Chains A and B, each alone.
Chain A
Amino acid sequence: MISSLTAENLACARGERKLFEQLSFRVTAGQALAVEGANGAGKTSLLRMIAGFLSPADGRLVVKTATGEITDGEERGKLVGWLGHHDGLKPQLTVIEQLHFYAALYGTASERAMLDRVGLTRQADLPCRYLSAGQRRRLALARLLVSGRSLWLLDEPFAALDAAGQSLVGQLMARHCGSGGIIIAATHDPLGLGNESLKL
């Protein structure tokens, strides 16, 4: 379990261009942080940095856990539940196969009940190529739940979802924070969690 994530004077450079610098924030267990900013401000880059894909040009990220501090990017990534721009679904695999694959890969258990929670029970045996954009997003949410990770990094979590889907995301996020998880979400819409927000 993660007790806190601290960013100290982070800077992000893409090529010659500086996206942001001197960025500091702290999120503790049970909190959510909304990352806001115009298109191209570096929201996704910040999430990729936290996930350990990008190295900060300057500054550092520290994760405090029960067993100690983690500063290494790749080690931090092993705590991350990722919901990116892309859903990571294979058109040839069925919905349930997809979920079983990620559960086995992350070493957790998956059940059909998980599909109930995101409203995909009827599509369980359908190949992913037949899913709509919103249904794919719902499956990505189920996968996020199955990953069992405590640090959620969400890139536009409301994208492509209908009203019911958006309120589902709200519920899932509220439950995750309620159970001591951390959420950092890049978004243009309010998260509705009484959370703080970070302007890039």
Chain B
Amino acid sequence: MSPFLTLLTRDIKLAARSGGGAALALSFFALVATLMPLGVGADLKLLARIAGGVLWVGAVLAALLSLDRLFQGDFEDGSLELIALSPLSLEMTSFAKIAAHWLSTGLPLTLLSPLLALMFNLAPAPMAILFVSLLLGTPAVSAVGAIGASLTLSLKRGGLILPLIILPLLAPVVIFGAGAVAAVSDGMAGTGALELLGAFAVAAVLLSPFAAAASVRLNLGN
């Protein structure tokens, strides 16, 4: 197995075994999505109207739960130094960690979303768009999150400052993701928003490993 796949599978294994990972994010997402209709009330029209935005925000916050440990765990126990000295470059290391985070968090969240959308009385067409938009957008959440995680990896309570760094950067993802769902609900195509979302995701996934690697390098030099 290549060093890249080795790190990727280890990170997924660790996410699964530490009890956090997917289970925690999924329960959080499900709870937020359940509480929202309870708080807003049984106005089906209103619920369908806000479903895209609420589920998108819920998914981003759920993905955030495990992001702070992306590099921090490895930094604290010395694994990050050993990974840095391995043949795998820090850029590819960051990329592997982003991929592992998406596979263990973003993908399960996306798969769960149609079920939660039922609680919001979302029609099949916007529900399909919600699914596609999460599939396109959650990799960007993991990628942008990796930048924040790498900046805060040496801070003891870095998890608290992480949302302040990355949530503003994730605004476009939520705007285009929820925007696509709203557009389809209004009888429009919504492809414009999806295209912008896809473009943002591609840029984030391709560029953020470099930013994260630079920040890891900086932290290892301290």
Which residue numbers of A lie inside 8 Å of B, CB to CB?
A: 48, 51-55, 77-78, 80, 82, 84-90, 92-93, 101-102, 104-107, 143, 149
CB pair A107–B13 under 8 Å, yes or no, is no
Name the CB-closest residue of B to A81.
B85
Q: Enumerate chain A residues within 8 angstroms of B17, measured Cβ to Cβ.
A: 92-93
Which residue numbers of B lie inside 8 Å of A, CB to CB?
A: 1, 3, 6-7, 10, 13-14, 17-18, 73, 76-79, 81-88, 220-221
Name the CB-closest residue of B to A127.
B17
Name the CB-closest residue of B to A14.
B222
Tell me if A's interface is mostly helix, strand, loop or mixed.
loop
Q: Enumerate chain B residues within 8 angstroms of A48, measured Cβ to Cβ.
A: 221
Q: How far is the CB of B213 from chain A (nearest CB, A)?
A: 11
**Assembled-state Cα–Cα distance A80/B86 (Å):** 9
**Assembled-state Cα–Cα distance A106/B79 (Å):** 13
Contact for A53 among B1, B14, B221, CB less than 8 A: B221
CB pair B77–A89 under 8 Å, yes or no, is yes
What would 5 A/B residue contacts be, using CB atoms closer than 8 Å? A86-B76, A105-B86, A105-B88, A106-B87, A149-B85
Known: A104-B1, A105-B6. A87 touches B85 (CB 8 A): no
CB pair A88–B87 under 8 Å, yes or no, is no
Known: A92-B17, A93-B14, A107-B3. A87 touches B81 (CB 8 A): no
**Assembled-state Cα–Cα distance A162/B220 (Å):** 31
**Assembled-state Cα–Cα distance A92/B101 (Å):** 17
Q: Enumerate chain A residues within 8 angstroms of B88, measured Cβ to Cβ.
A: 105
Q: Besides the contacts A53-B221, A89-B79, A92-B14, what 20 more A-B pairs have beta carbons closer than 8 Å?
A: A48-B221, A51-B81, A53-B84, A77-B84, A82-B85, A86-B78, A86-B81, A87-B78, A88-B79, A88-B82, A90-B73, A90-B77, A92-B13, A92-B18, A104-B1, A104-B6, A105-B6, A105-B88, A107-B87, A143-B82
